[in-house]
């Protein structure tokens, strides 16, 4: 249960950064995601090396990168933030292909890439919901 708690907090901690990137230009938002992803891979690799764990639960920056991708170029509202958060958590838990394969990659890359895949699925799901339901 602690692992789930840490992952939830990691994704929730991304909300202010998501809100900030939502007011930036699309190009700048993509740049923020790219920088966060690179920092997340590096930091995850450092923790992986220090703790000698395959996917250390102490690392939550991967959740931040994944949630940033979930909300990339999506109109921000309380409804989209909540729906995007829930979709990201569902896809992060389910680990659908290729997230389950990405998770097996070595070190920081594997730690972060599965969350980016979950973020991509959540982004697409959120866009589909917006297309079907309109704004919420």
> Domain locations in the chain?
2-133
CB–CB of 111/62 below 8 Å?
yes
Asked whether the beta carbons of 116 and 61 are under 8 A apart, the reply is no
Q: What is the pTM of this model?
A: 0.89
pLDDT tens per residue across span 41-96: 999 999 989 988 777 777 888 999 999 999 999 999 999 999 999 999 999 988 88
pLDDT value of residue 4: 57
Can you give the pLDDT at residue 90?
A: 94
**Which stretches within 1-105 are classed as H helix?**
2-13, 15-22, 26-51, 61-70, 78-94, 99-102
Q: 131: pLDDT confidence band, cut at 50, 70 and 90? A: very high
**Residues making up the chain, counted from first to last:** 136
Select from 60, 78, 80, 61 the least CA-distant residue to 125: 80
Q: What is the mean pLDDT of residues 3-10?
A: 66
% pLDDT > 90, the chain: 59
The Cα-based distances of 73 to 25, 29, 76, 80 in angstroms read 9, 8, 9, 11
Q: Report d(CA 87, CA 98) in Å as an integer.
A: 17
Question: CB within 8 A of 76, min separation 6: which ones?
Answer: 18, 19, 22
User: Is residue 36's pLDDT more than 80?
Assistant: yes
Please list, in sequence order, all residues whose beta carbon lies within 8 angstroms of the beta carbon of residue 85, skipping any fewer than 6 positions away: 11, 12, 15, 67, 70
- pLDDT-derived band at 1 (thresholds 50, 70, 90) equals very low
């Amino acid at each position: 249960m602690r692992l789930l708690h840490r992952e939830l907090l990691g994704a929730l901690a991304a909300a202010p950064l998501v809100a900030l990137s939502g007011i930036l230009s699309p190009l700048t938002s993509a740049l923020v995601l790219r920088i966060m992803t690179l920092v997340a891979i590096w930091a995850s690799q450092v923790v992986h090396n220090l703790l000698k764990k395959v996917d250390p639960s102490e690392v939550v920056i991967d959740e931040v990168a994944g949630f940033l991708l979930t909300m990339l170029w999506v109109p921000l509202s309380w409804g989209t933030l909540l729906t995007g958060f829930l979709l990201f958590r569902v896809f992060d838990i389910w680990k659908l292909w290729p997230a389950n394969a990405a998770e097996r990659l070595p070190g920081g890359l594997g730690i972060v890439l599965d969350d980016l895949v979950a973020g991509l699925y959540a982004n697409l799901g959120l866009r589909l919901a917006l297309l079907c339901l309109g704004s919420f």
